[in-house]
């Protein structure tokens, strides 16, 4: 690959990375009902129940299907026939960002308040738990390789004359207490809210259901890739909640 192409791939990966981070911030603010013109708990003009069901189901499927299908090894093998392998991960990050943004943008808030914490101190405590969850997620990305996870290393290393990184299995930090700490952080972040409408309840439940469905398929791939090593890890460490599941 020429140096110009390598540089172009790296610039592309930077754009994908920035878009991915922006989408995660949007998701965080949307689900935690913070500083956005419209969030999951917003009051919107009356919309028919059929429209709400169809649009919101589509919004959740948009994210779930994209995130699952593009993560499968068979799709990656097919996809890299058309693009340079070094930008496969960055393209996945970009597609995920579009799916997350689309999911939140399309979502139609609905329903009444299910729970609301009245105490100011209680609100601060719950907000603090949410912040803990999002920080837990962020730190977990660095306990594997943050820049590889988001596709930057795959394009930066070739510019330095290094070969593409080889997948390795390692256990460090939060990965010693749960197998998927990134998803643990998401679960904490989406549920730790001081006010929840029916809309939030359904949205958070949909995200949670996807996490467990997605992890089922992800772990099948990990077992194929790492074999007995990963099976032993599964026996020792719970999936997303320490000592429980």
What pLDDT does residue 92 have? 96
What pLDDT does residue 168 have? 77
Give the C-alpha separation, 158 to 156, whole Å. Answer: 6
Give the C-alpha separation, 12 to 18, whole Å. Answer: 10
pTM, full prediction: 0.92
- Domain parsing of the chain, residue ranges: 3-236
Task: Answer whether residue 182 shows pLDDT above 80.
Answer: yes
Q: What is the pLDDT of residues 46-80, one digit of tens each?
A: 889 999 999 999 999 999 999 889 989 999 999 99
Instruction: State the pLDDT confidence band at 165, using cuts at 50, 70 and 90.
Output: low
């Amino acid at each position: 690959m020429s140096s110009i192409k390598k540089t172009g791939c790296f610039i592309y990966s930077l754009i994908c990375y920035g878009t991915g981070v922006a989408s995660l911030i949007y998701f965080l603010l949307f689900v935690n009902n913070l500083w956005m013109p419209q969030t999951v708990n917003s009051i919107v003009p009356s919309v028919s129940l059929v429209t709400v069901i169809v649009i919101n189901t589509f919004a959740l499927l948009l994210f779930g299907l994209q995130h699952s299908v593009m993560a499968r090894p068979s799709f990656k093998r097919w996809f890299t026939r058309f693009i340079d392998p070094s930008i496969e991960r960055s393209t996945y990050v970009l597609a995920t960002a579009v799916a997350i943004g689309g999911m939140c943008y399309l979502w139609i808030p609905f329903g009444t308040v299910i729970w609301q914490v009245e105490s100011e101190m209680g609100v601060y405590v719950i907000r603090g738990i949410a912040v803990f969850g999002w920080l837990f997620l962020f730190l977990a990305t660095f306990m594997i390789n943050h820049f590889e996870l988001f596709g930057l290393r795959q394009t930066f290393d070739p510019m330095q004359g290094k070969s593409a990184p080889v997948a390795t299995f390692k256990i460090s930090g939060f990965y010693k207490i749960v197998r998927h700490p990134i998803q643990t952080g998401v679960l904490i972040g989406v549920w730790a809210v001081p006010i929840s409408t029916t809309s939030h309840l359904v949205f958070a439940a949909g995200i949670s259901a996807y996490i467990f469905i997605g992890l089922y398929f992800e772990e099948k791939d990990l077992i194929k890739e790492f074999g007995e090593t990963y099976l032993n890890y599964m026996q020792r460490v719970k999936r997303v909640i320490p000592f429980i599941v």
